[in-house]
Every structure is written in C-alpha cells, then in structure tokens.
Structure 1
C-alpha cells in the first residue's frame, strides 16, 4: 500500500506525463497542420502558375488576381504584351537580360518535383511543346527540378525554370517562365 505523500507524487507524475503527452500531441498536430497548409499553398500556387503563366495575354492586374494568395510571392512583368494591354513594368527583381516578360510564383517549402509536374502540365495545356535551345545565361542551380526552353513561335522562345532555392523563410520552391526578346528576322 502507498502512503498519501507517495500517492500525491504519483498523481503529480501522471498529470505531468499527461501534460507533456498533450503538449507533444498539440505540437505534432500543429506541425502536421502546418505541413498540410504548406502543401495546400504549394498545390494552389503551382496550379495557378500552370493555368495562367503560359497565357500570352497575362497582365500584371490579372497576375495579382489569379496568382497572389497567402503564402505565395509573385513576380511579374511584361514589357511588350502580345495583346493591346498596357506594358506591365518590372516591380520585383530586376528584369533578366534579354527578356521582356517574367511570370513567377514562389512559396515556402521543398516541392520542386511537384511544381515541375505542374509546369509541364501547363505547357502541355497551352500546346507549347516544341523544344528550343536553352540560352547560355540560364544554368541549373542546386535545387533545379526543371529547366527547359520552348519555341512559342518562329521568333519567340520561353524559358521555364522550376526548383528550390533559399528564400525569406528558409527553402522555397519557385516556378518561373521568362519570354525572351524576339529573334531578329
């Protein structure tokens, strides 16, 4: 038989263990929820990129409407639109030399292979299938999951780069397509 002081100690120990178990369960739930949220952001951003960034009629206003979402960073410019839309100036990173358009999304986490699959699906959906040489200024980086160039028309090439890189909150996944300046006839 245990005495009253031993009983109190045993009860305190059980409460303490239960409390720790509860904290571990809470932390695990929060981590899983965070991973689910991050996965949802990755899915939403990758799908939005695939559905919109290959469209020749994308504008900065449209990019803000369909690409921007909580947890998604967007970089878009179009200095020479295919439509009668006004040019969209460079507002994010400096324009890549030799390009007149960039459509990029980035988000926290390592989802390079998933994002690459979405980008390929977007190219297919737009009917952009003809491969082109990748210009020398584009190089794979450590986290590259996809780097390729596609012929848009006889004078235009687009370069698609998808992968992971250091971001503002750790590793981020990025999907970008840049349209090169027209090739002289």
Structure 2
C-alpha cells in the first residue's frame, strides 16, 4: 500500500480544502437519532474533544454517550494534571499512550476526514511528521497522517470505514505516540 504524503486526501482537495470546509456542525442541543444525525454529531464530538489534552476517561464516557456511536479512549500519560486513564476497550496500541476514537454506522468517511483535518487546523496541529511503518493504509482508509504535537510528540490520525456490528461503519481515531517511538 502506498502512504499518503499529505493529510488532505485527493477527495478533499477536489472539494477545495484550501478554500475552507463547512463540515463541522454544532451538536449543542442536537439529538442524534437517524444515522445521518448520529454521524454529524459523532464527527463534531471527535473534532471538539479528541485533540484536547484535557480529555479524560470520565469526560469521554459523558461526552461520547451518543446513541448509535461507540468510542474508545485511554490516556496513560496525560499532558494535563488528570489521572491516567487505562485502556478499557481494545488494548493500547503498542508504542502509544493515548487513543481517542469514535465510530458510527454508515460510510461517512469523506466528511469525517474533512472534519478531522479542520479540527487539526483549528487546534494548530499542522506540522507534518513521519508516519511510522506500523501504521499502514488499507483500501478503506480515507485519511492516515502523522502530525507533530510538540518537538517530542506525534499524533497519528486515521479515518476510514470498517465492518461494524451493524455493517459498514466509519471510524475516526487519533493516537499519540510515545516519545521513544517518534521518528525525527
């Protein structure tokens, strides 16, 4: 598989990413219900919360309590003064100390990737970093990129589709690499 050199996949460049994207939708007061509403709410929750160093397992449990979506979160070495949050879903990915992921029914990967890119930009996380060989693109990957969080830390963002309990689901995840696993 070839790796994506840029964080903006071809589909997003065709949408005119440089001109801006209007894909972030407000969730305040929104009720998820139908799959499209759930997808919009889940994308917005990811964008607003998964890049925050202040997210904790307790906050994730409350924040991602969205009917029709699943989430996974751990933070073994918080940037903030919060207590560590152990991996309670899937095991921690080797070489990482944090994961924030949300998944929801249907194929909404292009909008989810655009939402992730916009959130990275909004947070000022724009410096490319080498993508470790342990992260590989699949046929259903829409976005796979590494971005520098600070001189010692890198975030890996992965958006795509996979088989879920109800059929195809879209997933959005960000994992933070341990400093020893960062590539300079």
Gap regions ≥5 residues in structure 1: 1-35
CA distance in 2, matches of 1:67, 1:141: 26
Runs of 4+ in 1 over 6 A off after TM superposition: none
Equivalent of 1:159 in 135, 156, 159:
156
Aligned length: 150
Equivalent of 2:46 in 39, 49, 59:
49
Are 1:96 and 2:93 matched, yes or no? yes
Are 1:72 and 2:37 matched, yes or no? no
Compute the displacement of 1:142 (Å): 1.7
What is the aligned-residue RMSD (CA, Å)?
Answer: 1.4
- Structure 2 length normalisation: TM-score? 0.79
- Structure 1 length normalisation: TM-score? 0.78
* Between structures 1 and 2, the one with greater helix share: 1
Compute the displacement of 1:66 (Å): 1.6
Are 1:139 and 2:141 matched, yes or no? no
Compute the displacement of 1:83 (Å): 1.0
Whose relative contact order is higher, 1 or 2, with alpha carbons under 8 Å and at least 6 apart?
2
Q: Residues 1-185 of structure 1 correspond to what in structure 2 (within 5 A)?
A: 37-183=34-180
Compute the displacement of 1:65 (Å): 1.7
CA distance in 2, matches of 1:114, 1:67: 19
Larger Rg: 1
